[in-house]
Amino acid sequence: MSSVPRLSVELVPKLAWGRNARTIVATDTWDALRWHLGATQFRPRFLSIDFPDRSFRAKLKCAYCGTEQKSLELHEVWRYDDKKKVQRLVGLKPICSKCHLVKHMGFANVIGRKGDALTQLAAVNGWTSRLAKQYSDRADAVWKSRIGTAYALDVSYLARYIPPTKVHMDWLDNPRTWVGSRLDAIIWADRLLDSDAIILDTETTGLLKKSNVEVIELAVIDTKGKLVYQGLFKPRYKIPGRVTKIHGITNEEVKSCPTFAQQAESIRAALHGKTIVTFNARFDREMIGRTFKLHRAEGISARWECAMCAYRTFSGSEPYLPLPGKSHRALADCRSTLKLIRKMARAKV
């Protein structure tokens, strides 16, 4: 058996589960890393990091088995110092789902796919099934020796790609909740109300498919309902009449307002590094990012949570349901979103 297998098992200590690079960066930052490092063909519509352009790749290649696919996962390579008790990030590699299953052999065992992982381990390393099983057993013994030990997290490797302001170590103490069931949605809502998250809503000059749309109204409240920020902005281009009919904001109303650029620092202070909840996180996240970029202002790094996704799971509704009581004004819609979160938190399973 080779002493340094091409494909190895990741020996993640039990207390280190969930302590990873993806946990401490915003979704758009991780999407940017996936694109830059060759795990996805398509450039995200909004990049929070100004990576140099790279050419489109028809197929992407797994770093371990060489399989070519249209989409790969971005695997975090960790090294563990068992004497100093440090978990150090040493690489980020595009990897296929089969090899990723090998890396997380314990997870493969939990979901009943350890046999598939062992088959892939043997194939990539050129081993027999017996040798793969022996290696896995030894790795399992090392993993068991680490149970109950807490490791410090060293993610200095990320500085190769992203600035320190986009790394949020404090997010480790506030793990994300997967909203896959009604119970998950209730837990998600209850935790939010007991956190320092903020609730945001925007009104804009149009929809995402238009390149020159921007935020013209922004409101932010905390989970107790206290106002954090509210503002109207004069846009670079006129508000179309059909859009005014939706939210009621006219060009006359905003002509004497400050521009988004003039308020950018105050907005950053309210949003940067926060957990931001909106009813439609995909829309508001991209609109905020696009508007910062349009006005050539430094953007934000934040954790975005989608109340619509949680409520859809909670109520069994169809995708893209409208916000109950939506008024199409930012502050009122923030309060409607908070009301919805409170409704979920008080509910019974």
Separation of alpha carbons 317 and 312, rounded Å: 5
Q: Do 123 and 195 fall into the same domain? A: no
Q: Do 214 and 240 fall into the same domain? A: yes
Number of domains in the chain: 2
Q: Do β-strands 275-278 and 60-61 pair in parallel, antiparallel, or remain unpaired?
A: unpaired
Q: Do 100 and 235 fall into the same domain? A: no
- Give residue 348's pLDDT: 75
Q: Do 85 and 229 fall into the same domain? A: no
| Listed residues 170, 187, 214: the one ending a domain | 170
Q: Is residue 296 part of a domain?
A: yes
Confidence grade of residue 47 (pLDDT, cut at 50, 70, 90): low
Bridge partner list, 187: none
- pTM score of the predicted model: 0.68
Strands, E assignment, 114-167: 152-154
Q: Is residue 1 part of a domain?
A: no
- Give residue 30's pLDDT: 86
Q: Is residue 22 part of a domain?
A: yes
| Listed residues 122, 149, 170: the one ending a domain | 170
Q: Do 70 and 162 fall into the same domain? A: yes
Q: Do 57 and 199 fall into the same domain? A: no
Q: Which of 180, 184, 158 is nearest to 20 (CA)?
A: 158
Q: Do 152 and 294 fall into the same domain? A: no
Q: Do 158 and 273 fall into the same domain? A: no
Q: Do 73 and 158 fall into the same domain? A: yes
- Of 10-24, 206-220, 256-270, which has the strongest mean pLDDT? 256-270
Q: Residue 137 above 70 pLDDT?
A: yes
Q: Is residue 3 part of a domain?
A: no
Q: Do 224 and 315 fall into the same domain? A: yes
DSSP letters of 213-274?
Answer: --EEEEEEEETTS-EEEEEE---SSPPPHHHHHHH---HHHHTTSPPHHHHHHHHHHHHTTS
pLDDT digits (tens, 9 = 90+) for 242-297: 999 989 999 999 999 999 999 999 999 999 999 999 999 989 999 999 999 999 99
| Listed residues 170, 187, 220: the one ending a domain | 170
Average of per-residue pLDDT across 200-228: 92
Q: Residue 172 above 90 pLDDT?
A: no
Angle at 32 between CA 89 and CA 21, to 5 degrees: 25
Average of per-residue pLDDT across 79-102: 92
Cα separations (Å) of 319 from 27, 186, 188, 307?
21, 18, 19, 12
Q: Do 196 and 110 fall into the same domain? A: no
Q: Is residue 341 part of a domain?
A: yes
Note whether 21 and 37 are within 8 A (CB): no
Note whether 287 and 215 are within 8 A (CB): yes
Q: Is residue 5 part of a domain?
A: no
Q: Which domain holds residue 276?
A: 176-346
Q: Is residue 8 part of a domain?
A: no
pLDDT digits (tens, 9 = 90+) for 293-328: 999 999 899 999 999 988 988 887 656 667 877 678
Q: Is residue 9 part of a domain?
A: no
Average of per-residue pLDDT across 30-53: 78
- Give residue 349's pLDDT: 63
- Give residue 213's pLDDT: 93
Q: Could you tell me what percent of the chain has a pLDDT over 70?
A: 89
What CATH number corresponds to the domain at position 277? 3.30.420.10
Q: Which of 212, 226, 201 is nearest to 281 (CA)?
A: 201
Q: Do 334 and 186 fall into the same domain? A: yes
